[in-house]
Amino acid sequence: MREDYIEQALTTIPDPNILINVVSRRVKQLRYSSRPLVESLERLDPEDTALREIIEGKISYELAED
């Protein structure tokens, strides 16, 4: 994973644990043939694609209440 993408994604989702969970879930979707929500001229790993989607506001999350 690209360090600059991680740093930028942390500005959107400041809790690293939540960020890891969101990226992990999205990577699973991408690996099972879900289409990326962002376009890139370079070939990105699923992890980097998920981070770019978070950075560009294409992916959001919601915390469940107890």
pLDDT-derived band at 64, boundaries 50, 70, 90 = confident
Q: What is the pLDDT of residues 22-52, one digit of tens each?
A: 999 999 999 998 999 999 888 899 999 999 9
Contacts of 51 (CB under 8 A, 6+ apart): 1, 2, 5, 6, 8, 9, 23
- Note the pLDDT of residue 40: 86
pLDDT-derived band at 66, boundaries 50, 70, 90 = low
Is residue 10 over pLDDT 90?
yes
Q: Tell me the pTM.
A: 0.90
Q: What is the distance between the alpha carbons of residues 66 and 64, in angstroms, rounded to a whole number?
A: 7
Q: What is the distance between the alpha carbons of residues 27 and 35, in angstroms, rounded to a whole number?
A: 11
The type of residue at 30 is L
CA-based diameter of the chain, in Å? 42
Residue ranges of domains in the chain: 3-55
Mean pLDDT for 6-10 is 97
